[in-house]
Chains A and B, each alone.
Chain A
């Protein structure tokens, strides 16, 4: 059957005999003893197991350090400073959401619903491009714009300035999640609504958006998690430690004082806990999870 098809490099359409020949020819499988082939396979198994063990150990070392040093460092963290930094992050995320969500959601709706055209193609390329841009470059952009309007610079950057940089980080994630979630809505729901006499507007607002809501919310939470951990554009714009949790980790880590370095671990633990909580929330909301259950 054609469904069993062939990979691009495969031999061709009549699958079984030619595939066997291809496998035999390229692998030299038929020339070698079963023992040699088994040894090759256990070698590969051994190498991949070893690589996984090393990777897991290295990654576990990151987690263990964050938790171990973090719990010890928490005692050095001054409560008032921590709450100021967390409040700063919350403020920035709210501003970033206010800018990024309308833009990302609407763009995602258009990408999913509109017929293919030049604008859709351009917007898709733009979203891909934005997702690829290093966050520090967003910082340079905002810096360039602000520098132009206020010829004198320095001083603390405004919440709006930093929030705008974070919004740029969030937009492509939100737009793509919205597009994918809307595309996942079954066609029959749309058709049913249209058959009942709903307009395109009603179909989108009352039928498509509610059934895509969980997928969109997952994407939004992941975007917020990224913005929460983001530090490069904020540091570039000259934020101080009280403006965001991620910046406070950086500023404390660069200090030569051991007490402050220990504090950096405590702050990092709080940051990781926040980001992971957002990921867990996203996972709980994810529509994919229900399919697995």
Chain B
């Protein structure tokens, strides 16, 4: 008990401590203000950079399909479509996949397997996008080109979305890489959400004679709905903005095509590919406008998802003390 908090040294200088306290509070406040200013700066700087493009072509330019920087044509439709299609396609794989993996791990897996499967999934959530890109380029692209695509393009080549030839680089490969990247995160968040459902509910359902699937379907899932929704939105937000992995497998072509096997581009990969020292001022402005669109969409999406989760949680916490905390849902590491 000699110096429990090291206070007695400072008792004499209480004024100093008060000053330090005020200083810390001031600094902490300043940090919060800076955080807000950084977000505002994002919007302001991108809008300022994009202004020549908005002034010259208006928002309508985004609605054109022709992208030809040399002739100052800046139609963004191919990239917006590419972003949307690749992300949606990825989610149609990753969401059911992630849900089934979470279901297996929480309900069906033998106890011995639960740990290893969960750790593998967690390890892969940590692998950087650039490594997924490298894997996509060297393993997935040849697989799509030589194994997956040939039977489809030869038999269904007449259908526009399956038209060949397939080089392996294209929308489908991008979606598959995105799906694989999103899967660990979606599965991990869903597993947390499912296992945070109070055991009393589950036990009550089982005691009434429900099978484990019936209890899952009618008791656990309705209870976990907000969390599951958040997991999906998180995955979608990430997929919209993922750059490196997609850039390495999508083939980077600004032409708008219907085929899953044709090279394509997304907003993020276009920014990466074309914003450099060689771009003309109009070109830079057009790219900044696209970046602004990407920024607005991803932020709106994420804040919307947070809002829905917060509202549902508030409604739910009226009846139940347990449930997914906001911190858990906020961000998957």
Contacts and interface: CB of A to CB of B under 8 A. Distances in A.
Interface of A: 2-10, 15-16, 19-20, 22-23, 26-27, 29, 37-38, 40-41, 44-45, 47-49, 51-52, 54-56, 58-63, 65-66, 69, 102-107, 109-111, 113-114, 119-120, 122-123, 125-141, 143-145, 147, 153-155, 168, 171-173, 175-176, 180, 193, 196-202, 204-207, 222, 225-226, 228-232, 235-236, 238, 246, 249-250, 253-254, 261, 264-265, 268, 271-272, 275-276, 279
A175 B35 CA distance: 10
A3 B101 contact: no
A110 B214 contact: no
A253 B104 CA distance: 36
Contacts of A45: 107-108, 213
Given A5-B320, A198-B5, 7 more contacts: A110-B28, A119-B29, A133-B42, A144-B46, A196-B7, A230-B128, A246-B128
B275 A143 contact: yes
A153 to B, nearest CB: 5
B214 A37 contact: yes
A65 B135 contact: yes
7 contacts: A4-B201, A41-B212, A52-B117, A199-B14, A202-B10, A231-B128, A276-B126
Contacts of B200: 3-4
Interface in B197-235: 200-201, 204-205, 208-214, 217-219, 222-223, 225
A138 B43 CA distance: 11
A23 B210 contact: yes
Binding site of A, secondary structure by majority: helix, strand, loop or mixed? helix
Contacts of A120: 32
Contacts of A38: 211
B21 A200 contact: yes
A107 B32 contact: yes
A230 B23 CA distance: 34
B21 A199 contact: yes
B302 A128 contact: yes
B197 to A, nearest CB: 8
B20 interface: yes
Contacts of B180: 58-59, 62
A134 B333 contact: no
B7 A268 contact: no
B36 interface: yes
B268 interface: yes
Interface of B: 4-7, 10, 14, 17-18, 20-21, 24-25, 27-36, 38-39, 41-42, 45-46, 48-49, 96-97, 100-101, 103-105, 107-109, 117, 120-121, 123-124, 126-135, 137-139, 180, 183-184, 187, 200-201, 204-205, 208-214, 217-219, 222-223, 225, 237, 240-244, 248, 268, 271-272, 275-277, 284, 287-288, 291, 294-295, 298-299, 301-303, 306, 312, 315-316, 319-321, 327, 330-331, 333
B303 A134 contact: no
B330 A144 contact: no
Nearest to A4: B200
Contact of A253 (B35, B101, B133): B133
Contacts of A63: 120, 123-124
A52 B28 CA distance: 45
Given A66-B131, A144-B45, A173 B271 contact: no
A26 B38 CA distance: 50
Contact of A4 (B28, B204, B316): B204
A62 B132 CA distance: 7
Nearest to A105: B31
Contact of A201 (B21, B301, B333): B21
The 3 closest A-B pairs by CB, nearest first: A134-B241, A229-B128, A201-B21
B201 to A, nearest CB: 7
A266 B34 CA distance: 40
B32 A123 contact: yes
A226 to B, nearest CB: 8
A153 B213 CA distance: 60
A40 B133 contact: no
B9 to A, nearest CB: 11
B303 A126 contact: no
A206 B268 CA distance: 45
Nearest to B279: A153
B28 A272 contact: no
Given A9-B222, A135-B241, A236-B275, A231 B268 contact: no
A196 B275 contact: no
A258 to B, nearest CB: 11
Contacts of A7: 201, 219, 222-223, 316
B248 to A, nearest CB: 7
Given A8-B222, A61-B139, A132 B17 contact: no
Contacts of B31: 102-107, 110
Nearest to A103: B31
A229 B319 CA distance: 42
Given A107-B32, A268-B131, A131 B302 contact: yes
